Amino acid sequence: MKLAVLISGIFASLLTAVAGEYDCDVVVIGGGSGGFGAALAAARLGLDVVLVDKADCLGGTSVRAGVNCWEMSVGATGIPFDLYKRLKRQPNAVSIYSFGRHGGTFDPKRETFRYPGGETVSDPGRRYLETLKRHVPHGEKNTPDYRREHWHGVPFEPEAMAKTMRTLLDETGHCRVLLNTAFVAAEASDGRVHSIQLSNGSHLRARYFVDATGDGAVCANVGCQMMFGQESRDRFNEPDAPETATQRINGVTLIYRATPVKEPRIEPLPEGIPAQCWWRKNFTGAQVNHYPNGDLNINMLPTMEGEEFMRLGYKAALAECQRRVRAHWHDWQTRIEEFRRYRLLWIAPALGVRESRRVVGEYVLTENDLLSGLSGQKHPDIICLADHMMDTHGGHSKHRGDLTEPYGVPYRCLIPRGFRNLLVACRAASFSSLAASSCRLSRTMMQMGQAAGTAAALAKGLNVDLPAVSADRLRAALRQQHVQLEYPMPDALQSYVEKE
């Protein structure tokens, strides 16, 4: 499936025509969920924005890596909701899911086989408001019936998502989008980024910069203090951290898509790929989400251990994961008749990387924030909410259990320590490894991006550096953009979302 988005309009041509030096208010590096949120928020508030991405389309992991589904999560009432409403206008572009079959709840009286993982199915009776909660409050039990009733996500077509993101940016009239262009280096001194160099030879100067690269490439390049792997228990006093630090990271996944066919068959394996699992004892299960049109989005959990991914490097890891996908699909078709009525349609062109480098910010979000929840956090600068469980994948997998209330991400987590005009709006923000395993979801990243873009607009209007932006002003501005900062959701905001 081709996910290219054409570069059109004079905004792109201003940068692609001739390599040179250009000025703007904000440069956003990375066009994934966080970068899109930052660019759209800043551009809507009138700033001159340049958004740069090395891929051929917007959307990052949520589009190119096949993570074509927003999991249930508190918050997500600002820009993510705007995106959802636009996608709803397009046939088969988006839907709401409910939970279906699961291997752990096999009922032989109703099912003919044990499902090899979990399944979600489109549920036309559900609404966006029902996708805005993941935690299991005190007194509730996380049972299959609870999940089917309360947990709902948002599957979408990746090409529609990428194009809709681009449309929303173009409509502002203030955002120049530069695709197929990579970040090369940055010039910085005394806690301030001055300019960045791009792979097309251009240099961009701006008053403010947002690193939304996923792995904190800009932050690392300018000398920010970075974290990688699991922190030791005593570093942040996290009860579930290992006693000593490790280099382990979350596993990576290569997602694939299958489409229904009229004639059932088992697709042959390509030459050179064994039928037996060679990288572990047995083939893993997977999470299967139904696309709005009935295709299957199949997410192995995971396809490769994080340590092996780092050892191989991206290119070799992608090639190996492609072989594993073929073997996994062949095994499913061989063992389970239902999957013979599908054929492999598409393998995502990018790996789903759950964890990489993270910056040390003015505040580091930790497991203690997640366990305290909003009722126990005392931060005055919370700019988005989240409530996903701590969720690692791979040989060191740890699932502490569901949170009992939402928690907040402080604005200071977006500010690299010691920097004055740089923000981070991606999974490389200032999180411990355990905290990152919870708040890495796409809509949470988009909320962080919305806060970053809004902060830049406020900073320009007040003629101050980014750390000097008042938390009260920033939170007030986000509320005006229908961002949820309290739980339960205020009545006025709930009424707004109900009018989808």
For helices 158-172 and 79-88, angle between their N-to-C axes, nearest 10 degrees: 120
pLDDT at 399 (0 to 100): 54
pLDDT at 22 (0 to 100): 86
Q: Band the pLDDT of 396: cuts 50, 70, 90.
A: low
| Confidence (pTM) | 0.95
Summarised one tens digit per residue, pLDDT across range 445-474 is: 999 999 999 999 999 999 999 999 999 999
Summarised one tens digit per residue, pLDDT across range 310-320 is: 999 999 999 99
Q: Quick check: 298 pLDDT over 90?
A: yes
**Contact yes or no for 212/58 (Cβ under 8 A):** no
| DSSP state letters, 186-210 | EEEETTEEEEEEETTS-EEEEEEEE
Phi, psi dihedrals of residue 330, rounded to the nearest 5°: -65, -40
Q: What is the CATH number of domain 1-96+161-248+358-500?
A: 3.50.50.60
Q: Quick check: 9 pLDDT over 50?
A: no
Output the CA–CA distances (angstroms, integers) from residue 20 to 56, 192, 194, 197, 205, in the order listed.
22, 21, 15, 10, 11
In sequence order, the β-bridge partners of residue 156 are 94
Q: How many CB atoms lie within 10 A of CB 420?
A: 17
pLDDT at 1 (0 to 100): 43
Q: Which two tokens stand for residue 281?
A: 């004892």
Residue-level length of the chain: 500
Domain spans of the chain?
1-96+161-248+358-500, 256-347
pLDDT at 400 (0 to 100): 66
Q: Quick check: 5 pLDDT over 70?
A: no
Q: Band the pLDDT of 398: cuts 50, 70, 90.
A: low
How confident is the prediction for the chain on average, in pLDDT? 94
Summarised one tens digit per residue, pLDDT across range 414-427 is: 999 999 999 999 99
Q: Tell me, what amino acid is at 45?
A: L
Would the CA dihedral through 425, 392, 441, 431 be positive or negative? negative
Q: What's the rounded Cα separation, in Å, for the pair 466 and 371?
A: 29
Q: Band the pLDDT of 187: cuts 50, 70, 90.
A: very high
Q: How many CB atoms lie within 10 A of CB 225?
A: 13
